[in-house]
Structures are given as C-alpha cells and as structure tokens.
Amino acid sequence: MNLGRAKTILIYAFLGLNLFLCYHLFGGALRESARLWVTGKEWRHIEEQLAESGYLLETRVDRAARKSAFLTVSPSAVLEKKALELYGAAVPPPQGSGAPLLYEGEGVRLCYFPGGPLQLELLPGVALAGEAADEAGTAALLERYLQEQGFAPAGLCYDRLTRSGGKTVFHYLQKDEGRLLFSGYLNAAVEGGALVELEAYLLEPETPLQEREMEVITAARALVRLVELLGPASPPRRIVKADLGFYSRKYDAERWEMPPVWRFLFDDGESCFINAFTGNLEPETSN
Amino acid sequence: MKERIKSALLLLLVLCSLFLTQQLWFGRRPAEMTVENGYEPVYFEEPRPLSQMIVPEAITLYSRGQCHRLRPGETDFNLFWEKSSTMLQELAEPGYYYYAEPPPPEAERCFSLQFEPSLPLGPESIWLKGRSSGALAELEIRRLEDRCWAILKESAGDASLLLLPPGWSTELAALYDRFAPAPEQLCEELPEGELSLSRGLAVNLDAPLLVPVGVSSLKRFSLKPERLDRELLLKTFFINRNLVREIEEKDGGFIYTDGEQGLRLGRGLDYSHPRLEKTAGLDYTAALLTAGKLISYHGGWVKNLRLQMLAGGDEEKEGSGRACRAQWRSLLDGYPLLGDSGVLIYYHHGGLLSYRRNLYEPLEQPGDGVAVAEFRKVLEKAVTLLEEEGAAGPLLERMELAYYLEGEEAVPVWQIHLNGRELLLKTDELVPPEGWEP
C-alpha cells in the first residue's frame, strides 16, 4: 500500500476524531453562551415590544451574557470624617442620640445620620463659576473643588443632571473596580454658579467571591420584566440609561450583600432597579 | 519533504486526540464536586405522625375524695395517655358503643384527660375514625365494678357517652387500680361559687377549678439558647440558597432575604413571607398536620416541646388575610415555660406566613429549689394587686404553676387568670418576674 496515501487517510481520520472530541468537550459551553447572547433579530423584537408598551429605548444596551455574585458592602465613614475634620471642630457637639447629628457653623450646616447619608448646606455657598458658565464647565469646576476638598474619592462617576427650583443638581455614582454601585452616590446642588448643597452616601465594598458567581439575566430579559412590572406607559416614557451594577436599599447594619441589578433611568430622573438574578423589582425604585 | 510534513501533522493529531480523550475521560468533575443546584428539598426531620403531635394538657385522677394531676413527661402520664389513645384509635366505629342513658349514678369518676388543643376526630384523624368529624376537649372515664363508660366532651360543647367494650373496661380499670399517687400530684378542686380568702377578700368561680396544692418547691433551671444549623435552616426556607443575601446587623443579628421572604437570626428566629399567595382554607385536622409538617421542616420538634394552641383559619393575620395559628411551648418538669420562648407560626394552605422560634434547653444540673407559696396566699396577693387597679370581686378562671424565662434562667411562677387578665407571680416572693408586663 502507498504509505503517503495511508498517512493522508489517517490525518483525515484523526482530524475528524479531534473535531468530535472538541465538540463533546466544549460544545456545551459554546451552546450555552450562544443561548444567552441576544441576537439582532431578538433585540429588534424587544424594541418593538417596548415601543408597543410605551417605552422608548434611547441608549445603548449591553447585550452580552454576564456572570456576577453578591457584593458585600458596609457604610463608609470617609466623607463623614472629612466633613467633621473640615467643619465639626468649630461647632457645638452633637445633641441627642439616634436622631441626625447637626453641626452648625459660620456659612455651613452639616447634618449626618449615623450610618446614613451626609448632608452639607453651604450658605451662601462656595463660588465655582460665574452664572453664565455652561453645565459642562460648572461640572468640571465642581469636580475639581470636590477633589481639592477631599469629597470626591476615586471612583465617583458622573451619572446625570436634574433641576430643582433654581438649583442644578449634579448626580454622581460610586464606582468600584468597574462596578457601578447605585446605592453609593454624591449629589451636588449648584445655584447661581455656587455650590450650595452636598448629599452623599458612600459604601465600602469587599471583593466579591468568584465561586459564588452566577449567571445574570440579560438586559433584554430585564427590559421585558420592567415592562411586565410597570405596565404600559402613556404618554410614552424614554429610557435614557441602562446599566448593570449593584443596588440595595440603605440598611442601618454592619454589612450587607447587594445583588446585581439592571438600572433603567428614565428621562424624568426616575430609576428602576431590576434584580439581575431574580428579575424582580428591587423595592426602592429611585435614589 | 511533503511526507515529513504529513508525518509531523499525523503525529500532532494523534497526540491531540490522546490529550482530548484524556480530558473527556478524566477531566470531568465528579458528581459530588458539581455546584449544588439549590433546589433539593431540605428539612430538619420527617413530620411526626398525628399520634405523636398532640398530648393532653393534663390527666386528672380521682380517688377517695382526692384528685391528682399528672403532667406531660411523667411515667404515669405516658401510660394513661398511650392506653387512652390506643383505645380511641381502636374504637373506629363508636356507633356500636353509644350509650343512650346517663351512666348509673353509682359509677365513679376515675380519670379524665384534658386536651388543649383539641383532639381531632373523624375519618381524617386516627381517633374515632367512624365519627363524621369533631374535636375532643375532654375524655372522662367512669367506672362501676368491671364496666367503664367514656364521656366524650367536644370543643363545640356537645357530649356523648360510650359504654366501653369489656376488654378496654378491664384494661383501664386495672391501670387505674395500679396508680399510686405522689404527694406533689395532689390538687384541690375548688367548687363553683365564691371562694373566701383572708382579710375579707374573695374570688368567684363560675365552674369547678383544679389548683395544685401538693407542690412545696420547684427547681430553678439555667437555660441555654437552642443552636440550629444555620445553613440547613436557610435551605429549609429558601428554595434557592444562592439567591439569598445576608445583612449583618449592628447587634450581631443576621437577616437573610431573597426579596420575597425574610429570615432574622438573632435572639431566636423570625421568618416572614408577607406576600405569600392566599389559598383555600384548612379544616382542623389538616391545619394540625400542616403545623406539624412546618415545624418538622423548619427546626424540628425538640425534646419536651408541646403543641399548646391551634387556631383554625378564622384568624386575621395583618395583610395576609385569614390564617391558622399554632403555638408550641417548652415544658420544664411538665410545666410550661412562659415569656419570650416557644414557637409561634401563622400559616395557610399555601405555606408559612410567619414563624417565630426562640427555644432554650436546660443545662444538665438543675438549680436550687424555690418554695411554692400556698395558692390562697397567692390569690390574696393577686386580688390585692387587682384591687389597687380598681377591680373588685374578680372571677378566677385558671390558676396553674409554670416557669417564666428571666434572662437565661427559668424561675417558677404562679399563673393566674382573673377577670380575663393574666397575672404572673414568683412562687416564693409573690412578685411579678423580671421582664414580665401584664
């Protein structure tokens, strides 16, 4: 028999065998990831479904399959310490217990709830820019001021802007190693180019345990659940942001676990949190 | 050259196939190492059969003008209860034994079993299966020579009389004759009407009442809180443990929730599932069996735990519609441990609405004996306390000995029900125990 021919036949045979073995070894995982990815056709169908129910998706959405674990957090005292360092010494000691602690000094009113948010009122305010400055300019100056004062720990990221009376409120979210923490925030109110109010609540996250990671529902599934839970909207509502992060309500506790959530931000400023494990609406829908 | 390439490629493919075969053959994780799916049914113990779920609250024996009360856990109590239970199970067709006339007046009252909660009767139960339904509140045995009658007093107020078959009459009579009372089992039967006390005080009774008079002292008990396997407990409440998040409270307690149900572990266990869908109601026997199943699954029956109360599905549970309620209490030397201790559940056909469990185990060595004041003295003190609050001529409804949980110690108390109010007084000092509020 021709040796060269025999080798060719054997090469084809072993190639076939290897493909068969690869299919058995890795086929399951490939099929699984393909199942979780949302195809373009499916996505168009979801967008149509949303539009029919009165929801307009006006943002890019992560369509990949993801895994996540609970994130353990505890309340952070960083801002509280900083505020007391800056303003606490010049004012009377806190009175009462359990109630929010108040410090009042010249041009500043500091209020914080032990284990809760910190509120700072600056009167008449810290001038950042002239009244004519645009929002982007004001935001840049605000961020610089917060960094200088130590009120902007690394990881705060700009989220949105709202208006209340004459005030423009800049909302920042806490971010830790690429993970958005919707429960950790800093809101800064600017009026007439001056920073007049700060409200902040920051968390101390621990590293999530990889062995506890589970698949999370896709953004597409979360959007379908959102519509199911909120019902049809009339007039139509616009979804301007859709992000995966972590969220839970505030607990007066030592530490707690936050589930991964899909946060959908509407144009009116309302946020809806869909638990990315269960697809249920997390109780508090806005921060 | 071409042949060399072919040879190398063939060799590479052979090696690759060997590696892949090895991966396929040995690379899979064994079944015991695969991640739990979290959906396995988990429970603490198998549910108890109906025969072991209910024991009488007390058994009273009458002889020579005296009465003695047996308490759960005593050897004689178990003998009388086992015999009576077997008899009620064997009398599947009670219709054969109904006795239309009243028992002869010479027939002596031998003993009676009081049931709280009631003993279910009928086809769904194991006792008197031939009955269409019913719930037994008291079983009284009367005897004349070698004949015995059983008076069945039902919770609804009806009573029926059975002339027991000769075999059972002989057995019950023999059991009764063998009974040797202990001094501490002695009770006094207070007659209906006014009971005069010293210093011009008095109480009224609208029915005869048994009061323990033979107990001169009771031991104190040091207790330790029950320790349950936390992971097992979590798996009994949450179908998928992986979806449960943990909240560590500042006082050291832990809350577990999956967003629908919540479990708090701290001083005992508190569980709540407020949004549980309401389903069809439960009849008395089904409610009893469900209660037994729920406690067996979530923590189990511990030694000396007695079902003390079972209310059918006519109770309103805040925000959850009508629900059944069951309560268990620990017994120490046959006396109930009162205070923040025991098990209380609200449930319906759809499952558990809420569950509170705070149980204690006695340490091995009981403490010192505590004197038990005579019941009249205790009544005087109780009436005086009530008079200070403006109530006079009170109606005495119940008077029993019990234990009360003070910190991690069980202290003996008198439990008195006067005019619908409960009063607890320490058996020696006749003052309310620490932490108790009327």
User: CA B349 to CA A101: how far, in whole Å?
Assistant: 48
Rounded to 10 deg, the angle between the B166-178 and B75-90 helix axes is 170
Q: In a 10 Å sphere around its CB, with 0-12 CB exposed, 13-18 middle and 19+ buried, how is residue B78 labelled?
A: middle
Query: Do A14 and B16 make contact, defined as CB atoms within 8 angstroms?
Result: yes
Least confident of A117-121, A277-281, B307-311: A117-121
Instruction: Pull the structure tokens for residue B207.
Output: 């029915």
- Delimiting residues of CATH 2.40.128.690 domain(s) in chain A: 36-70+208-282
* A66: number of Cβ within 10 Å: 15
Question: What are phi and psi for residue B257, nearest 5 degrees?
Answer: -150, 150
CA A153 to chain B, closest CA, distance in angstroms equals 25
Tokens matching residue B68: 């003695």
* Average pLDDT of the segment spanning B177-202: 89
Cβ contacts of residue B155 below 8 Å, gap of 6+?
Answer: B118, B135, B136, B137
Architecture of A75-203 per CATH? 2-Layer Sandwich (3.30)
Question: What is the pLDDT at residue B31?
Answer: 42
Q: What is the pLDDT of residues B122-169, one digit of tens each?
A: 888 999 988 888 899 999 999 998 889 999 998 888 888 889 999 999
B249 to A17: CB separation less than 8 angstroms, yes or no: no
What's the pLDDT at A92? 52
What are the b/e assignments for B185-207, b being 16+ CB within 10 Å? bebeebeeeebebeeebebeeee
* A·B CB contacts under 8 A: 75
Q: How far is CA A100 from the centre of its chain?
A: 27
Q: At what angle do helices A40-52 and A219-230 cross, to 10 degrees?
A: 20
Q: Which of A5-14, B36-45, B172-181 has the lowest mean pLDDT?
A: B36-45
C-beta of residue B225 within 8 angstroms of C-beta of residue B238: no
Is residue B192 helix, strand or coil?
A: coil
Whether the predicted interface score ipTM is above 0.85: no
Lowest mean pLDDT among A136-140, A267-271, B306-310: A136-140
Contacts of B243 in chain A (CB under 8 A): 277-278
Which chain A residues are Cβ-neighbours of B27 within 8 angstroms? Answer: 25
pTM given for the model: 0.80
Min Cα distance B351 → chain A (Å) is: 21
Domain A36-70+208-282 is of which CATH architecture? Beta Barrel (2.40)
Q: What is the mean pLDDT of residues A82-90?
A: 70
Put residue A155 in one of left, alpha, beta given phi > 0 → left and psi -120 to 50 → alpha.
Answer: left
pLDDT value of residue A205: 92
Segment A58-67 shows an average pLDDT of 84
Residues B359-373: tens digit of each pLDDT: 999 987 777 889 999
Confidence bin at B334 (pLDDT 50/70/90) = very high
> How far is B232 from chain A, CA to nearest CA, in Å?
18
Question: What pLDDT shows up at residue A132?
Answer: 59
Provide CATH 3.30.310 ranges for chain A: 75-203
Cβ <8 Å between B245 and A256: yes
Q: Is A6 on the interface with B (CB under 8 A)?
A: no
Q: Would you list the DSSP string of B3-49?
A: HHHHHHHHHHHHHHHHHHHHHHHH-SPPGGGSPP-S-S---SSPPPP
Is A256 within 8 Å of chain B by CB? yes
Q: Which residue of A has its CA nearest to B24?
A: A25
Query: B interface mutation test: which of A277, A281, A284, A285 has the most B CBs within 10 A?
Result: A277
Of A14, A21, A254, which has the smallest distance from its Cβ to B24's Cβ? A21
Which of B341, B335, B359, B353 has its CA nearest to residue B405? B341
pLDDT of residue A30: 67
Question: What are A231's two structure tokens?
Answer: 């019902």
| Low-confidence winner among A111-115, A145-149, B339-343 (lowest mean pLDDT) | A111-115
Residue of B nearest to A247 (CA): B245
Answer whether A18 sits within 8 Å of B246, measured CB to CB: no
Mean pLDDT of B33-59: 78
Is the confidence at residue B316, as pLDDT, over 70? no
The pair of structure tokens assigned to B348 is 């319906």
Q: What is the 3-state secondary structure (H, E, C) of chain A?
A: CCHHHHHHHHHHHHHHHHHHHHHHHHHHHHHHHHHHCCCHHHHHHHHHHHHHCCEEECCCCCCCCCEECCEEEEECCHHHHHHHHHHHHHCCCCCCCCCCEEEEECCEEEEECCCCCEEEEEEEEEECCCCCCCHHHHHHHHHHHHHHHCCCCCCEEEEEEEEECCEEEEEEEEEECCEEEEEEEEEEEEECCEEEEEEEECEEECCCCHHHCEECCCHHHHHHHHHHHHCCCCCCEEEEEEEEEECCCCCCEEEEEECEEEEEEECCCCEEEEECCCCCECCCCCC
- Is it the case that residue B351 has pLDDT exceeding 90? no
- Say what percent of chain B tops pLDDT 70: 93
The model's confidence at residue A31, banded by pLDDT at 50, 70 and 90, is: low
B417/B396 Cα distance (integer angstroms): 6
Q: Confirm if A241 and A59 have CB atoms less than 8 A apart.
A: yes
Instruction: Give the 3-state secondary structure percentages of chain B, helix then strand then coil, rounded to 5.
Output: 25, 40, 35
Q: A4 and B3: CB-CB below 8 Å?
A: yes
Highest mean pLDDT among A36-50, A207-221, B42-56, B278-292: B42-56
